[in-house]
Amino acid sequence: MFLRGAFRALALNRNLTPIAVRTFASKQREVPALTCDRYPVQRGSFAELTDDDVAVFRGILGGADTSRVLTAADEVQDYNIDYLRSVRGYGRVVLKPRSTTEVAELLRYCNERRLAVCPQGGNTGLVGGSVPVFDEVVLSLQLMDTIERIDEYSGIVVCQAGCVLATLEEQVGARGLVMPLDLGAKGSCHIGGNVSTNAGGLRLVRYGNLHGSVLGVEAVTAEGRVLDLMSNFKKDNTGYHLKHLFIGSEGTLGIITRLSMFCPTASRSVNVAFLGLHSYDDVKRTFLAAKRGLGEVLSSCEMIDAASLDSCTRFFGLQSPIDKYPFYMLIETSGSDAGHDEEKLARFLEQTMEQGLVQDGTVTNDSTKMKVNCISVNMITVFFFFDQFCVRIKSFLHLTLLRQPHSEHCILS
Amino acid sequence: MFLRGAFRALALNRNLTPIAVRTFASKQREVPALTCDRYPVQRGSFAELTDDDVAVFRGILGGADTSRVLTAADEVQDYNIDYLRSVRGYGRVVLKPRSTTEVAELLRYCNERRLAVCPQGGNTGLVGGSVPVFDEVVLSLQLMDTIERIDEYSGIVVCQAGCVLATLEEQVGARGLVMPLDLGAKGSCHIGGNVSTNAGGLRLVRYGNLHGSVLGVEAVTAEGRVLDLMSNFKKDNTGYHLKHLFIGSEGTLGIITRLSMFCPTASRSVNVAFLGLHSYDDVKRTFLAAKRGLGEVLSSCEMIDAASLDSCTRFFGLQSPIDKYPFYMLIETSGSDAGHDEEKLARFLEQTMEQGLVQDGTVTNDSTKMKVNCISVNMITVFFFFDQFCVRIKSFLHLTLLRQPHSEHCILS
């Protein structure tokens, strides 16, 4: 009708593994070279770990229960290698505190002993920032995964930093809320790591960045001091807002141990459109038309160029749902009324096609029929069909294809 | 029908002054006592202004053009008294720079001379924080009102800190955008003051707080150093986010001179419902129902208790649009499609009335027929009918009625 192929459901492609949980494939593949052999980095003058240190750690972390102080080489290895297996440290011990007090005690001791520490969340980062560069003590937040409170009235969740994003999403989802961020690694990344790295993700266009969503953090500084910057008040405008220093500072100012976050109301209806366009200028104008026409239901808007789509479809042996165009756009709406959302989307598509902005496209609102994943790294977005609706997995594929060199930052941090 | 009085337009009440522009009423009323006579505050050991200082200021600010260095007692007086006329300083000079460089030069000189400085925006604050306590030099941002750029694609406005909020609203509105904050003082408050005080305002429920909307600031520290923390990138997650220290720090860390802000797409349709409820518990449950049922179009939700409404209607000789109830709620929707919004609102009202949460109410989407203003201070909200649609004026009325004592903060800041 008005849109060639609009509301034409896409054929399923069920040959791919569902959701990529970014946990380690470390045992199956070659061990990467040591970071310090591969890059010209110099170890700082920090102390070396002794058996006495390990004994102190065991004293702090449960004594007889040895599962919270790992020292066996094979157990420690996974924590020394990043997800992409491109860098490797040689840390000799992994500590797994359960509480802020334990984190504080550990850091106080390490600071006194001048032992370097590498805090680690889900170890899903793609820039090598989550593993030791040398023999740093790894402090993993894995066991700090308690969800303390979800308030359905205020939409606020209070939790420990080691909670897995997908678990939080599930828990707040059960109360009609949605986490304000979503990213490919959600199956294993920690909310504390998301906040520490100021993760953007797919919902940024709708819900803004974490500086707006995070209401408070509790953090422990390197010398073991606990900073209580927690707040459960969305409209709090008192005093200095020091919590923001911890959002995106990647553990350099301290380790986030707890946080409170505002969760918006979940949307009941989701539509996705995949469009073909002639030029970058048309992409820009279509983006503007989407912001105006779809307004409050626009929840995602991504651009994909022909080269990115080609490399991806070839790599996975997939088929584009529409003919070849120099540019593609993926537009997602989500709202509280499916009928209204569809009507807005149909009108938007009709208008943009009439104006010659959009050349072709396909749309669906049936989550069992269309499975779209988008992978975007460094401003390049590729996509493929996958067995989870609207779970877009950032970057690992593209990094595999293009092998970007690591930034100085990630190696030296 | 389903709602007694729903979509029943309210009678106009045109007897009140339109929009309260918070500029000075200072000439008509009694001069308040000096802050230092009224409160036990001690002047710091800063220097006293001399004629030489004034000469230097004139040298920095245009020389022959004397309009930018005010010293005449009657001209200076307005800048020494706050909007509520409750505190008064005795600053002897008002400086009006036009550029960041001028601000830096002035602050550098004042710092060397140990002259205390009181930065001032629109002087619309209600806690006495915008005027000198003693004889501080007033540095007014009034002339720094250039809008440098509005990008309709990204929705980003870049401007000087002295831009009046209403002017910005008008300018971005012409490009289909809306400022992410709105408050009663918008006719005279400065955007730099809004950011410095981390103003919340009426749109917070929809667009979040300024930490999410402000993308960058340029600020000058007390010693005259210019900090460039500007960014035009919504997804910027590099480095420490120092700009957040300036959001809400009320000039104590430096003076904001420029900023960039993200503006959402403007909504074409607005509906307002005024509801009567039996209990606070019903208010809470109705709020939750509004978040879920109205979802993405809910743009404002305020509670008003009977005492607040009574005091306000009596004070202004106004009439409530509905019968007496222990609690009232004002719910606003705004969206891109009037029909959809009305449908959602009607359904929400039908459901909440059926559930016995909402007892009575009135709704309108006709901006010429219903003029509602809400005044809320310290968790108490009063309201009255006014000649501007959905402009809610915060607090001044209530302060007049109840005369809250000033907090320590405002006097000592």
- The answer to whether position B58 is within a domain reads yes
SS3 A294: coil
In the beta sheet, which residues pair with residue B177?
B265
Chain B contact probe: residue of A237, A357, A377 with most B CBs at under 10 A: A237
- The answer to whether position A157 is within a domain reads yes
Query: The domain that contains B368 carries what CATH number?
Result: 3.30.70.2190
Facing residue for B211 by CB, picked from A152, A212, A248: A212
Q: Give the distance from CA A164 to its chain's centroid.
A: 10
CA end-to-end span of chain A: 55
From A109, A140, A171, the end of a domain falls on A140
Facing residue for B212 by CB, picked from A209, A239, A343: A209
B18 or A52: which leads in pLDDT: A52
Query: CA-CA distances (angstroms) from residue B326 to B81, B275, B282, B363, B373?
Result: 38, 11, 11, 19, 19
- pLDDT tens-place string over residues B240-249: 889 999 999 9
Phi/psi for A136 (5° steps) reads -55, 150
Residues B186, B158 within the same domain: yes
Residues A166, A235 within the same domain: yes
Q: Do B291 and A155 touch (CB under 8 A)?
A: yes
- The answer to whether position A397 is within a domain reads no
Residues B81, B152 within the same domain: no
- CA neighbours closer than 13 Å in the CB half-sphere of residue A190: 28
* High-pLDDT (> 70) share of chain A, %: 81
**Stretch B251-280: mean pLDDT:** 93
CB contacts, 8 Å: B297 with chain A: 296, 336
- The answer to whether position B104 is within a domain reads yes
Query: What helix, strand, coil percent values describe chain A, rounded to 5?
Result: 30, 20, 45
CB contacts, 8 Å: A267 with chain B: 295-296
- The answer to whether position B69 is within a domain reads yes
SS3 A324: coil
What pLDDT, on a 0 to 100 scale, did the predictor assign at position B221? 96
User: What span, in angstroms and rounded, lies between the C-alpha atoms of B413 and B402?
Assistant: 23
Residues A288, A341 within the same domain: yes
Q: How many domains does chain A have?
A: 3
pLDDT band (50, 70, 90) for residue A14: very low
Task: Give me the amino acid identity at A215.
Answer: L
Residues B291, B362 within the same domain: yes
**Stretch B211-225: mean pLDDT:** 95
Tokens describing residue A282? 């048309």
Confirm if A218 and A257 have CB atoms less than 8 A apart: yes
Facing residue for A241 by CB, picked from B204, B211, B268: B211
Query: CA-CA distances (angstroms) from residue B108 to B101, B143, B393?
Result: 10, 20, 38
- pLDDT tens-place string over residues A16-38: 333 334 444 444 568 999 999 99
User: What span, in angstroms and rounded, lies between the C-alpha atoms of B180 and B202?
Assistant: 9
Residues B288, B359 within the same domain: yes
Enter the ipTM. 0.78
Q: Is the pLDDT score of B14 beyond 80? A: no
Cα torsion through A205, A210, A213, A218, rounded to 10: 170
Across chain B, mean pLDDT equals: 81
Q: Is the pLDDT score of B337 beyond 80? A: yes
Q: Is the pLDDT score of B386 beyond 60? A: no
From B123, B140, B157, the end of a domain falls on B140
Residues B229, B326 within the same domain: no
From A199, A232, A262, the end of a domain falls on A262
B23 or A344: which leads in pLDDT: A344
Determine how β-strand B226-229 pairs with β-strand B214-220. Answer: antiparallel
- The answer to whether position A2 is within a domain reads no
Residue whose pair of structure tokens reads 């010398």 in the numeric block: A223
Residues B239, B311 within the same domain: no
- The answer to whether position B357 is within a domain reads yes
Q: Is the pLDDT score of B65 beyond 80? A: no
Facing residue for A344 by CB, picked from B295, B334, B337: B337
pTM score: 0.81
**Stretch A236-254: mean pLDDT:** 88
Chain A contact probe: residue of B241, B395, B412 with most A CBs at under 10 A: B241
Who's near A339: CB < 8 A, 6+ residues apart? none
Residues B248, B152 within the same domain: yes
- The answer to whether position B15 is within a domain reads no
Phi/psi for B277 (5° steps) reads -135, 160
Q: If you measure CA to CA, which chain A residue comes closest to B267? A: A295
Q: Which domain holds residue A112?
A: 35-140
Q: Do A288 and B208 touch (CB under 8 A)?
A: no
Residues A273, A367 within the same domain: yes
Q: What number of C-beta contacts closer than 8 Å exist between A and B?
A: 129
SS3 A338: helix
Q: Is the pLDDT score of A206 beyond 60? A: yes
- pLDDT tens-place string over residues B164-198: 999 999 999 999 999 999 888 899 999 999 999 99
Residues A377, A278 within the same domain: yes
Q: If you measure CA to CA, which chain A residue comes closest to B284? A: A153
Cβ neighbours of B30 (radius 10 Å): 7
